[in-house]
Amino acid sequence: MSSYDVCVIGAGPSGYAAAMRAIDFGQRVCLVEKNKIGGAGIWNGALSSKTLWELSERYQSICTSRYGYQVFDSDMSYSSVVQEMHKAVNDKYSQLKQQLDYFEKKGLITFVKGHASFATPTTISIDHGNGKSSEITATNTILAVGSRPRILPHIQVDGEHIVTSDHIGNLNDFPESIVILGAGVIGCEFATIFSNFGKTKVFLIDKADRILPFEDEDIAHTVAHRLEHNGVHIHKGASLQHMKVVDGMVEYELSYADGRKETRRVEKALISVGRIPNSDQLGLDQIGMELTDRGYCIDNDTQSSIEHIYAVGDFTADIALVNIAELEGRHAVERMMRYNNQALRYDNISTIMFLNPEVASVGMNETQARKKGIAYRLAKLQYKYVNRAIAMRSDKGFIKLIVSDDDEMQILGLRVLGDHASSTIMPIALLISLKKSVSELAELIHPHPSIPEGIQECARMLLGKSIVKPNVFAIDMECYRVSESGEITNLEIHPSPALSAENA
């Protein structure tokens, strides 16, 4: 029986990152994976879906006439789209495999293919298939077991007519019509992708009154408007009664609060109602690990209820993002090596929603601030006043900067909706982490022309020294404070004393 310092179960983003960090500390590492290196984050998650989104965005740009020219006779087949997606995925897989092979030849890591489960808290059984199995022991174990699409018990997912995100790459062609159940991030992203290509009539079932319920209303409203402009039909406030395959088509029935019922048939259905952790069949009950009712690990800064076993990535109840998964994987190794005693922070997490347009965020939004009863000040600027957006002929978007409601005006959060939104958030994430004031953001020299200049202008608005004045363009610019009780008061922008006429 082989023994290791660290066993990492799962070679997705969190597990792979953990294994590489353990190598840095000279640990004897065993990396166990039952499927493919890279996990869902590469094969049927972030990388694959974002490749589809990029292709759909570029195709829509070709087909539009808003740039002063128009391309005729442009076309794209689903097979060519999927081929490009697979190429992107395989390119990334090759990088990961090349590095893993290098360290395996050096004797620094052992890669084992198979399904792992605990025999004891320190003994791990590995089922290699075909009746073959083995056992190893490990001083420390990291569970990076990932997640899978959540399936509803009353809907039969067959992978052909009714599918999840795992099956998108297996479709033979663009469906003529598709219904997407779930109006969260993943559902809205696939609604964007299929509607961008313009070959599929998209229906989106939203049980709530609006899509993206965790985001601010103005962002959700704008995204919904753009989806509808793209041809997406949103079933708002709809409860699904049934969904089944009838005569080779997907039939679904909806009911509404006012008593209405609606039945439609479409070619395909995509179930997008969240994900669940792969915590079953690991023998966790046998070793007494504490889990939530939904199967997530109850962890303390990545450490599980069993001292030498750590949980990272989608196995924890934190935000399920690749960047967070990698961070947690590395952090778990540093904790077990007593290298880093500082707990992970989640208040400056940067995220992107790949919609039309994209939405970038970091820190707190208005919805969260009001729910927590936090007083704040906010500046909002439309894209039409940002030179880069004007040059791109893409001025449909806005920037929202949130700061504390005090003299310091510490940066709390940022939301950017529009093209190139993802290029704006990293400086703000750093400033939030450093607990910096909006005054420091206002004095940074931003590249010109760029979208981040709009963030700087928001900072200047809050300080009363913006170039574009909100009292002139009141329809497109907002600057207000919100009290702990939620009362809104417009901020009156007055000249700074140093800039008054007598001191000019």
Residue 472: how many CB atoms within 10 A of its CB?
8
pLDDT band at 66 (very low <50, low <70, confident <90, very high): low
State the pLDDT confidence band at 502, using cuts at 50, 70 and 90.
Answer: very low
Q: Are 183 and 204 in contact (CB under 8 A)?
A: yes
pLDDT winner (highest mean) among 186-200, 311-325, 334-348: 186-200
Q: Which of 301, 433, 310, 302 lies closest to 363, judged by CA?
A: 433
- Proportion of the chain above pLDDT 90, given as a percent: 78
Query: In degrees to the nearest 10, what's the CA dihedral of 291, 307, 115, 21?
Result: 120
Question: What does the alpha-carbon distance between residue 359 and residue 354 come to, in Å, rounded to a whole number?
Answer: 7
φ and ψ at residue 366, rounded to 5 degrees: -65, -40
pLDDT at 69: 61
| pLDDT value at residue 310 | 98
> 482 near 405, Cβ under 8 Å?
yes
To the nearest whole percent, how much of the chain has pLDDT over 70?
95
Residue 389 has pLDDT above 50, yes or no: yes
Paired residues of 254 in beta bridges? 240, 262
Instruction: Write the CB contacts of 465 (distance below 8 Å, at least 6 apart in sequence).
Output: 442, 496, 499
* β-strand partners of 86: none
What's the pLDDT at 70? 66
In eight-state DSSP terms, residue 172 is S
The three-class DSSP label of residue 170 is: helix
How much of the chain is in helix, strand and coil states, percent to nearest 5?
Answer: 35, 30, 40
In angstroms, rounded to a whole number, what is the distance separating the alpha carbons of residues 64 and 497? 49
Average pLDDT, the chain: 92
Tell me how long the chain is: 504
Give the relative orientation of helices 425-433 and 452-463 as an angle to the nearest 10 degrees: 50
Using DSSP, state whether 377 is helix, strand or coil: strand
Residue 321's SS3 state is coil
Within 8 A by CB and 6+ apart from 233, the residues are 201, 202, 203, 204
pLDDT tens per residue, range 208-224 = 989 998 999 999 999 99
Q: Is the pTM of this model over 0.75?
A: yes
Distance in angstroms (rounded) separating the CA atoms of residues 356 and 188: 9
How many CB atoms are located within 10 Å of the residue 332 CB?
Answer: 33
What pLDDT shows up at residue 231? 96
Q: Pick 59 or 65 by higher pLDDT.
A: 59
Residue 128 has pLDDT above 90, yes or no: yes
